[in-house]
Structure 1
Amino acid sequence: MKLFSTILILCCCVASLYGQNLARKVSFSYNRLALKLVLDDISADHDVYFVYSPDYIPTSQPITISVNNIALSEALDKLFDPLPVAYKSIGGQIVLRPVEKNPPPRITNKTIPKEVDQQSPLYADPRMEEIIAERKKRWAQSSPTISGRPAPQKLPSNTESKSLENLTATRFDPLVIDSTLLMEEEVAAAPVPNSDSTTDSTSVVINPKKNLPRLAQISLLPFLGSNFVQSARTTNRVSVNLLWGHNGGVEGLEIGGLMNSIRNDVQGIQIAGLGNTVGDDVLGTQAAGLFNIATDTMVGVQGAGLFNILGRGSALQGAGLFNIARHDFAGVQAAGLFNIAGKNSRAVQVGGLFNVSGGRTRLQVSPLFNIAKDVNNGQLSTIINVARQVKGVQIGLINVADTVSGVTIGLLNLVRKGYNRVELSTSESFLGNLAFKIGVKPFYNIFYLGARISEAQNPGNNTEESIKELTWGLGYGFGTAFSLGKRTLSNLELISIKVNEREGWTRPLHQLHQVRLLFDWRLGKRMSIYAGPTANLLVSSRKDPELGIGGSELVAKTTLYDKTDANKRSQGWIGFNAGIRL
């Protein structure tokens, strides 16, 4: 009972979380703009989330509309009135469905008896068989037959074409609808044969989701329960399946020992020991030991030990292994392994391994990797984040994006339309420097290579003949850039350089740390010059034959800091750096 109360409270919280007021006042104006762009703009400006399938909704239809300070419901009525589209508010979402604006007329023949209102909450009306038999009899009598074959009927004479006088038309066999079909489907429109007319045509519109209402049912297995063969055509307020049940719909509560299977919609709560499956929409909660499946729209909560799958909607999904939303999704996905949202999502995805979103997403958090088309808030992982457009933050070992309007923080940030620069410079320590800077202005990575040529006396020659030796450095750092004017900016950078002095690789500690403050003047579209001071700190355990422990020719003659202990030496000074940036 405590678990049941908790689930009800959670459903209420989710419903209130995504609730939206259709009475709010809105204003917008569009002139021959595609429907998809109109819906996206309304969503962004008025915090309205539309759920639809572009396969059935004419998203490319040009829209011309102008509303000013009217209720959202009135604005939507005006927007969708000329389109074959109907909308319905489910939870906090506006669900769009294709409709036929001018459906065929419904049956109006007074000779067809009306349906008898259901009197029993558990069993079918006992007079239904008599009603169906009477209906068959009336329809059969309305079509005269000769020797069991349809009687030919002559067409009216046409004075303009005498050749038509010999033409005859044969009436079709009487329309017979099986009783089981009547129990399952609602006949929306069909002609009634009339002996005075020969031009009627047959047109039937079926509503397969029209079920028989019941207060309650109990079953052991599919079709082995109180509703018997009518189970798949029945919507129950309360449904109890001892092992496995198959019903038409639920508008209340369904509990199953093993499985609950619903053909159409669920509005309420489903609880099963193994799994719940719904063939259409779910408005409410699904909880199961292994899995939950909602084929179409889901608004509510899905909780399962293994996995949850839904078509589209707004929900909270929690599973031990994975969650999948095949189309548009809003809400939260949390799983032990991974989460997948097929298309656009306003969701938070938290996965034990990875997260994938086929469209726009809000936030992705995982240990391995996150992949999305567009990101509104951020991606956080320990290895790699991949997105097209990022409006927020990317934090990971490797971050990949096309454009970023926020910041990417990682060891390697690859942004195609970002702050990507190549620098050639000189300084007092290394006369030649090459640097690659990649990322975005708020945070970018620096890959550095520096070198200098030194002259030293040849130890194998007693003369003063000297030889040239190479001192080089390999470094990594990061920085930030901020604009000072239209053509000027400033860089603040931190770099650590491994120094190999006069040898291929210096094994002892020999590290140069730099803090740079640079000022950049742009000369052209991509080229600029820069210069600025550098604060240097060399920490070394290398023993120089001439300069002693920690000695280096990189150190300026005048130092601001010089400290030596038992096995290393630290020296600090102010230098400079200047160069060309491409």
Structure 2
Amino acid sequence: MYPIATNAGAPDIFTHLDLALVLGRIGYLGGLQIGPVGWVGYDMRGAQIGLAHVVDGRAEGLEFDGIFSIARGDFAGAQIAGLMGWTSGRMTGLALAGMASYVDADVDGVLLGGFVSVARGKVRGLQMAGGTNIGRVDGLQLGVVNVSAEVRGVQIGLINVARRIKGVQVGVLNITDKLEGESLGLLPIPRRGGVHPVIWGSNSIFANLGVKFASAYAYSILGIGLHNRPLPDGKRQPAFTAGLTLGARVPITEGFAVAGDLAGNRLFAEGVPLTTHDELYKARVLVSFEIAKRLVPFIGGGVAMAVQGSDSLRFSLLPEGTAGIEL
């Protein structure tokens, strides 16, 4: 444990091999440093292996530690840590940590964190975490929650937030201030004009009210409605519905657009347990015309399929005609 060492009184020595039982302290490394804790005061070219290692200067090669790895300058190579990896300069290569990876500058390569990965600069390549990613990305950002000032590429997660995106967002909740591409999700919310109330009716569910979350071409609708549920004896029973619609819209000419979507609706009626199948599925083709920015009537049709029963299911098909207005 330094200063109880062969380089006592010479902490800035250059060496090809540093072997420590507790703490190794050298100035420059051009080879291998092994021990529970290692510290290189200036530059490192080679490998550090142990529980925790620090490089105060530039690092080239491998840091492989069971607890944490720290590089206070630029790093080129692979930094692998059981808990936390930290690079204060530019990272070129691979940064992987079981809990958290942090780079204070740009990343050219792969940044991986078990729970969180943070890049203060731009990631050119892949940023991935089992929990949250924070950083600007040219490439792929993959995690449960992704937060980015700018994405040029693909952002995939349950929750995606980007101030600006040129590419594709894929997730459950997608929020962006400026979208130049496509947002695919249950709730895509471009901040400017991406949420619209929708009112429509059809021969299957006669009264519907929903909220449409639209991006450039894709959209989703969360809706509720009123339905006359058919009974086995031929009679009908009033029911409420709750459903989700996923679709795509293609502009044809100025004002006119064609859309196609798929919808699933659950029916809720008195005396019908939730364990029983009582759903209505639809496939539609729609034509719309934009009279004004918040006044878009549409009309279309398709097919609807009712699924009812518990032990034995009953299926019935009927044509679907629909008309409504998007506000």
Assess same fold via TM > 0.5: yes
Superposed CA offset, 1:30-64 (max 9, x none): xxxxxxxxxxxxxxxxxxxxxxxxxxxxxxxxxxx
- Helix, strand or coil: the match of 2:10? helix
Match of 1:570 in 2: 315
Q: How does 1:154-193 map to 2 (within 5 A)?
A: none
**Per-residue deviation at 1:446?**
1.2
- State how far apart, in whole Å, the 1-side matches of 2:216 and 2:201 are: 23
**Per-residue deviation at 1:438?**
0.5
- Are 2:114 and 2:131, in contact at CA under 8 Å, matched by a contact in 1? no
Match of 1:276 in 2: 53
**Per-residue deviation at 1:365?**
2.5
- Are 1:539 and 1:570, in contact at CA under 8 Å, matched by a contact in 2? yes
428-437 vs 509-518, which moves further:
428-437
Q: How many residues align?
A: 316
- State how far apart, in whole Å, the 1-side matches of 2:36 and 2:255 are: 70
Picking from 498, 511, 518, the partner of 2:286 is 518
Q: Which amino acid aligns with 2:152?
A: N
Verify: 1:247 aligned to 2:23, yes or no: no
Match of 2:165 in 1: 390
Structure number with greater Rg is 1
- Are 1:221 and 1:241, in contact at CA under 8 Å, matched by a contact in 2? no
Q: Which amino acid aligns with 1:520?
A: S
Q: Which amino acid aligns with 1:315?
A: G
Q: How does 1:93-492 map to 2 (within 5 A)?
A: 221-222=2-3, 224-226=5-7, 228-232=8-12, 234=13, 236-243=14-21, 244-250=23-29, 252-266=30-44, 268-313=45-90, 314-351=92-129, 353-360=130-137, 362-366=139-143, 368-381=144-157, 383-417=158-192, 419-451=194-226, 470-492=238-260
Q: 1:259/1:511 Cα in 2 relative to 1: closer, same or farther (>3 Å)?
A: closer
**Per-residue deviation at 1:277?**
1.0
- State how far apart, in whole Å, the 1-side matches of 2:41 and 2:54 are: 8
Q: 1:449/1:337 Cα in 2 relative to 1: closer, same or farther (>3 Å)?
A: closer
- Are 1:419 and 1:444, in contact at CA under 8 Å, matched by a contact in 2? no
Q: How many percent of aligned residue pairs carry the same amino acid?
A: 24
Q: Which has the higher strand share?
A: 2
- State how far apart, in whole Å, the 2-side matches of 1:225 and 1:316 are: 33
- Are 1:308 and 1:318, in contact at CA under 8 Å, matched by a contact in 2? yes
Structure 1 portions without partners, runs of 5+: 1-219, 455-468, 543-565
- Helix, strand or coil: the match of 1:392? strand
- Helix, strand or coil: the match of 1:388? strand
- Are 1:302 and 1:308, in contact at CA under 8 Å, matched by a contact in 2? yes
Q: Which amino acid aligns with 1:512?
A: L
- Are 1:361 and 1:372, in contact at CA under 8 Å, matched by a contact in 2? no
Q: Which amino acid aligns with 2:67?
A: L
- State how far apart, in whole Å, the 2-side matches of 1:452 and 1:261 are: 71
Verify: 1:579 aligned to 2:313, yes or no: no
Q: Which amino acid aligns with 1:575?
A: E
Match of 1:59 in 2: none
- Are 2:15 and 2:26, in contact at CA under 8 Å, matched by a contact in 1? no
Q: Which has the higher helix share?
A: 1
- Are 2:24 and 2:35, in contact at CA under 8 Å, matched by a contact in 1? no
**Per-residue deviation at 1:488?**
1.1
Q: Which amino acid aligns with 1:498?
A: R
Q: Which amino acid aligns with 1:229?
A: G
**Per-residue deviation at 1:505?**
6.6
Q: 1:487/1:289 Cα in 2 relative to 1: closer, same or farther (>3 Å)?
A: same
- Helix, strand or coil: the match of 1:396? strand
Picking from 275, 289, 300, the partner of 1:532 is 300
- State how far apart, in whole Å, the 2-side matches of 1:426 and 1:272 are: 67
- Are 2:245 and 2:264, in contact at CA under 8 Å, matched by a contact in 1? yes
- State how far apart, in whole Å, the 2-side matches of 1:275 and 1:427 are: 66
- Are 2:137 and 2:153, in contact at CA under 8 Å, matched by a contact in 1? no
Superposed CA offset, 1:65-120 (max 9, x none): xxxxxxxxxxxxxxxxxxxxxxxxxxxxxxxxxxxxxxxxxxxxxxxxxxxxxxxx
Q: Which amino acid aligns with 2:71?
A: A
**Per-residue deviation at 1:490?**
0.9
- Are 1:349 and 1:364, in contact at CA under 8 Å, matched by a contact in 2? yes
Q: 1:332/1:440 Cα in 2 relative to 1: closer, same or farther (>3 Å)?
A: same
- Are 1:272 and 1:287, in contact at CA under 8 Å, matched by a contact in 2? yes
- Helix, strand or coil: the match of 2:128? strand
Q: Which amino acid aligns with 1:305?
A: G
- State how far apart, in whole Å, the 2-side matches of 1:522 and 1:285 are: 59
Q: Which amino acid aligns with 2:261?
A: E
- Are 1:419 and 1:438, in contact at CA under 8 Å, matched by a contact in 2? yes
- State how far apart, in whole Å, the 2-side matches of 1:410 and 1:356 are: 18
Q: Which amino acid aligns with 1:333?
A: L
**Per-residue deviation at 1:506?**
4.0
Give the TM-score taking structure 1 as reference length.
0.49
Give the TM-score taking structure 2 as reference length.
0.83
- Helix, strand or coil: the match of 1:264? coil
Asked which structure has the greater RCO (Cα within 8 Å, sep 6+), the reply is 2
Q: How does 1:492-511 map to 2 (within 5 A)?
A: 492-500=260-268, 504=270, 506-507=272-273, 508-511=276-279
- State how far apart, in whole Å, the 2-side matches of 1:541 and 1:319 are: 50
**Per-residue deviation at 1:517?**
0.5
- State how far apart, in whole Å, the 2-side matches of 1:254 and 1:265 are: 13
- Helix, strand or coil: the match of 1:225? coil
Q: Which amino acid aligns with 1:340?
A: V
- State how far apart, in whole Å, the 2-side matches of 1:369 and 1:413 are: 14
**Per-residue deviation at 1:515?**
1.2
- State how far apart, in whole Å, the 1-side matches of 2:313 and 2:106 are: 61
